[in-house]
Amino acid sequence: MALQQKGMHGTWASRWTFIMAATGSAVGLGNMWKFPYVAGINGGGAFVLVYLGCILLIGVPVMMSEVLIGRHGRQSPVNSMKETVTDSNANSKWRYVGWIGVLAGLLILSFYAVIAGWALDYILLMSSGELQGVNGSGAGAAFENLLASPLRLILWQTVFLGLCVAVVIGGVKKGLGLAVETLMPLLFVMLIILLGFSFFKGNFQAAFDFLFSFNLDALSWRGVLEAMGQAFFTLSIGMGAIMAYGAYMPQDANIGKTVLIVAFFDSAVAIISGLIIFSIVFATPGLEPSAGPGLMFISLPVAFGSIPGGLLIGATFFILVSIAAWSSAISLLEPCVAWLMELKNLSRAKANLIIIFITWILGLGSVFSFNIWSDYSFMGFNFFDFLDFLTANIMLPISGLFITLFVAYVIKSEIVSFEMQGTSGVILNLWRIAIRFIAPFAISLVFIMGVYDNFVS
């Protein structure tokens, strides 16, 4: 068994390029859209503390496991998993775990591109002044008008997917590597600018108290499960992206330390985004931090439209959201492209165009869910909601659970020892405890409750 494989796709220029790439994959709409409103619904500070604990006990251990498999196989998640299963003399059925993740990533990308298109549209809406002084009903009408127009949604979906192709087609170093080395510093600079604006123009103290005041009474067991689920999904676990990026990780990079840095950056973006959003929400009379999914596309435009200079800052905010979505989406596209290149020996350009066309066609179902097909449902879901449920509540937990069990109980110890070289004994022992006992239990709980909420309760 050759412990060090040589991949056909290349490697990142440095460990820091991997950190930027993995952070870009993890930082997305989950941080900037979902985390703030989920925290708002569950009372703020106590939720944040549980969320951070779950990042360390669930997210980081599973992410380390994905990187380990990817770096050992040095191929797409499908073939890295297959390679690792073969080298471990394990049951061949374990190789299907790679398939689950890649397929989930493709399905997620199909509707993720539609949501990202909303953010692109709002850049123009903010810049045009159309939302200046708008009230809640006006902001709601603007959002409804966007969703009611299939051509408008398709336009932005197409633009966003085109941006993804433009990056992935360049390969690991000249495409993905160059993009994340540019996009992630830009994202952090824009975050700091917006944080400064919210500090001086928003109600920063109220936002800080909301996110960091410890109030156990406001946190239910349902909120704890939400925190567990958010911690699992925010790091792009179970969808092939991290395994694919791990395949390009330099062999001398320390997996434990590197993943902890990625988790820190990811959590920092989520918390800073919450401070920015809630500072502006609390500064605007009539808006609530628990406004739900409409917080970003209805409540925030009202807030930005009522603050001097707010429309410019609002446009900047949606540029930031678009960059975060872009950096995540390219990590969902890459595993599929890498697999097709390996399977058919296609050029990267051809593989990109084939995968993106399939994604675009699938995405039309999500586009039509808000207008043409809005009266149709399957098992109580429209097409968009069904894909969201299938991936978030079924495929990702199953993929993450099997990855954890495989690395905890099946993979050859020699592979683990080789890939985890340089990791301190304390971190290694904590990681082993987490993947053997804590993470499988927590992921199973998230899976069971996710299915229960949708079909039983």
How confident is residue 28, by pLDDT bands cut at 50, 70 and 90?
confident
Q: What is the pLDDT of residue 286?
A: 76
Model confidence at 118: pLDDT above 90? yes
CA distance 192 to 182: 16
pLDDT digits (tens, 9 = 90+) for 248-269: 999 989 999 999 999 999 999 9
CA distance 119 to 297: 8
Model confidence at 330: pLDDT above 60? yes
Choice among 27-31, 296-300, 340-344, 420-424 with the minimum mean pLDDT: 27-31
Of the CATH numbers 1.10.510.10, 3.40.50.2300, 1.20.1740.10, 1.10.150.20, which one belongs to the domain with range 15-455? 1.20.1740.10
Nearest of 117, 104, 32, 199 to residue 364 by alpha carbon:
117
Residue 347: Cβ within 10 Å count:
11
Model confidence at 456: pLDDT above 80? no
Using an 8 Å Cβ cutoff, are 14 and 259 in contact?
Answer: no
pLDDT digits (tens, 9 = 90+) for 375-432: 898 878 899 999 988 998 899 999 999 999 999 999 999 999 999 988 888 889 999 9
Q: What is the pLDDT of residue 166?
A: 96
DSSP for 152-217, written as a single string? HHHHHHHHHHHHHHHHHTTHIIIIIIHHHHHHHHHHHHHHHHHHHHHHHHS-HHHHHHHHHS--GG
Write the DSSP symbol of residue 133. Answer: T
CA distances from 415 to 69, 344, 405, 408 (A): 9, 28, 15, 12
CA distances from 296 to 27, 233, 301, 363, 426 (A): 16, 19, 8, 22, 41
Write the DSSP symbol of residue 90. Answer: -
Query: Beta-strand (E) ranges in 39-187?
Result: none
Buried b (16+ CB within 10 A) or exposed e, 296-310: bbbbbbbbbbbbeeb
User: Quick one: which H or E segment has residue 427?
Assistant: helix 425-433
Residue 182 DSSP SS3:
helix
Q: What is the pLDDT of residue 3?
A: 57
Mean pLDDT over 26-46 rounds to: 79
Q: What is the pLDDT of residue 153?
A: 98
CA atoms within 13 A on the CB side of 195: 15
Tokens of 457: 């309760």
Model confidence at 294: pLDDT above 80? no
Measured on CA atoms in the order 346, 347, 351, 354, is the torsion positive or negative?
negative
Mean pLDDT over 339-363 rounds to: 95
Percentage of the chain modeled with pLDDT above 70: 96
Q: What is the pLDDT of residue 41?
A: 75
Domains of the chain: which residue ranges?
A: 15-455
Model confidence at 233: pLDDT above 90? no
Write the DSSP symbol of residue 216. Answer: G
Q: What is the pLDDT of residue 393?
A: 86
Write the DSSP symbol of residue 218. Answer: G
95 vs 285 pLDDT, higher one: 95
CA distance 15 to 77: 20
Query: Which conformational region is residue 364 in: left (phi greater than 0), alpha (psi within -120 to 50 degrees), or beta?
Result: alpha
Structure-derived torsion over alpha carbons of residues 321, 324, 330, 332, reported in degrees to the nearest 10: -90
pLDDT digits (tens, 9 = 90+) for 182-223: 999 999 999 999 999 889 888 999 989 888 877 677 677 778
Q: What is the pLDDT of residue 32?
A: 78
Nearest of 268, 349, 265, 339 to residue 95 by alpha carbon:
339
CA distance 164 to 183: 13
| CB proximity list for 354: less than 8 A, separation 6 or greater | 340, 346
> What's the full length of the chain, in residues?
457
Residue 196 DSSP SS3:
helix
CA distance 74 to 78: 11
